Structure 1
């Protein structure tokens, strides 16, 4: 029993360290009163504990207008399955101690002011299924180690300052459904290895500096694709005539590139299509 109490105390100390890193503000005062040693950590706002070990399994303090930095002690929440601090004003770099959160399945740091390079230790969070780092100030390249998260289904990196290319190792993410790296500084050829992931449903690389051509067999590879957004890049070549085989496609955006040639008539056969953007290219023909 004493060991169990010690572990709960570890969780409590980790959350108190987070509370104490926050800059004085009204939301911080709410936590200062609620996150108190006079009550069980399992009763604190935003905290959920597991029924078996009474350890913290979920921390959700999203959308609370909190400001501060993340303490290394956060990595001591070793039973954490879901961590959501999105839609706040957290800043600074991610502490390396978060690598110890090996049970994590859901991690949302989106819409904050976090920065620094994308840490390579993400690759050790093998159970992660959802990772959002969008709308921050992360820079540098995408670490290949992210491909070690073989259970990953959603990766959101949009609205950062990420450079370089999408690592070839991404072809190992066989469960990936949603890949959004919009509004960054990616360069080099369109990462064709990504188009080998038959699990993908949503792909968006819009507003980068990618070049190259769309593969002819893009729809044969991606039978589940519902959303393809590649606008505002430097793509050349033709729109594949086989695009009509993307039968589930609801959104197709290829505008603001350097595509040429005829508009494939097969686009008219995309019965699920709701939005189509092809402007500002060198395309010919008409849409019927």
Structure 2
């Protein structure tokens, strides 16, 4: 047996050694963690250049060799075509390589452009899915991927871009439903998901986007009804849901809360009921397209109060009215700004009013496939589509 004092000294030394080892381990781990965080968060213009060179490497076809020849480390990245840098931070704030006919994919390294505020890759042939790393670009205000070949579902992480004001994914091959999380983008004034393959319903939550001026989700496969509260977004100027499978009715007080609406595209759906009677309150309306639905009843006389109207298409509905002086409200012929009037296949009959001659700005008139008195032909047929 060792003397008690010797054991105490031995145990004390062992305890000190263990403590020193633990402290060393903690120090190493902390150092590695700090280095790791620094590596992840520290970016500079060199990082920006590396990110764009990675994008260049993902380009499989550059028809005009614009990127191939111009993007080179031999010159400053801020002088590259399509690149804008801030004078204050000397970092890339905008990337615009639209309309170059480029083929390729979007690399995750673009998520390292931490000062990027505007991303425009529109009218190219980028394919693949949107990398989640782009959710790190918290300064982004503008995204346009219009007319590419992007696929997959519209990513829910787009809602993590709090400053986003403009978002266009038009003319791609996105599938799935519209993510509800998009409604978190409360600064958005322009949203365009048209010409994709989206399905499902229009999220009710979109009504929370009270700064929207342009909402377009045309040429998809949306079903169900249009949330009535969407017609309460008073900032809307363009509301476009044409060519979907939407059903139900639109509110009779459609224009009550849309004082700024200029273009209303609803053609090519399964909407029914009567055309709203309070259209006169949409005093800024320039385009009204309700073509190819199942609207019934009379054409409201209030249409004639739309003195800014340039395009009116009510064709291919189940309208059926008769006035002694003609089949149409004469007030329509007081719209001096009207350039396109299309009412084919609307079950109209009676006489064509002589007042049609008052429309001196008219460049397209289509009254074909109706039952006007004394008219056995197809009527006036000049095709007009929107």
TM category, shorter: over 0.9
2:50, 2:186 → 1: CA distance?
Answer: 32
Distance 2:237 2:253 in 1: 16
Give the TM-score of the pair, scaled to structure 1: 0.96
The 1-side partners of 2:279 and 2:66 are apart by 53
- Residue from 63, 74, 91 that aligns with 1:26: 63
The answer to whether the aligner puts 1:128 opposite 2:164 as a matched pair is yes
**TM-score, reference length from structure 2:** 0.72
Deviation track 1:87-122 (CA, whole Å, cap 9, x = no partner) reads 001001000111011101111000001110000011
Q: Which residue of 2 aligns with 1:216?
A: 252
Q: Distance in 1 between matches of 2:318 and 2:52?
A: 56
- The CA distance in 2 between the partners of 1:105 and 1:24, in whole Å, is 28
Deviations 1:1-31 (A, max 9, x none): xx9x96111101110010000104433x432
- Which residue of structure 2 aligns with residue 17 of structure 1? 54
Are 1:107 and 2:143 an aligned pair?
yes
Equivalent residue number for residue 141 of structure 1:
177
RMSD of aligned residue pairs (Cα, Å): 1.3
Please state how far the C-alpha of 1:34 moved relative to its aligned partner.
Answer: 1.4
> How far apart are the structure 2 equivalents of 1:248 and 1:113?
36
Paired residue total: 284
> What is residue 36 of structure 1 aligned with on the other side?
72
In structure 1, C-alpha distance between the alignment counterparts of 2:54 and 2:303, rounded to whole Å: 55
The runs of 5 or more residues in structure 2 that have no matched partner are 1-38, 322-327, 331-386
What displacement does 1:237 show? 0.5
Alignment of 1:140-179 (within 5 A): 140-179=176-215
RCO higher in 1 or 2 (8 Å CA, sep ≥ 6)?
1
Q: Which runs of 4+ in 1 moved over 3 A?
A: 24-27
Give the SS at the match of 1:248. coil
**2:158 pairs with 1:117:** no
Q: Equivalent of 2:45, from 8, 13, 17? A: 8
- Which of 1 and 2 has greater Rg? 2
Q: Hey, what's the Cα distance between the residues in 2 that align with 1:228 and 1:193? A: 16
Structure 2 counterpart SS, 1:190: coil
Contact 2:98 2:123 in 1 (8 A): yes
Distance, in Å, in 1 between the alignment partners of 2:46 and 2:102 is 24
Compute the displacement of 1:171 (Å).
0.9
The answer (yes or no) to whether the contact 1:165–1:191 under 8 Å persists in 2 is no
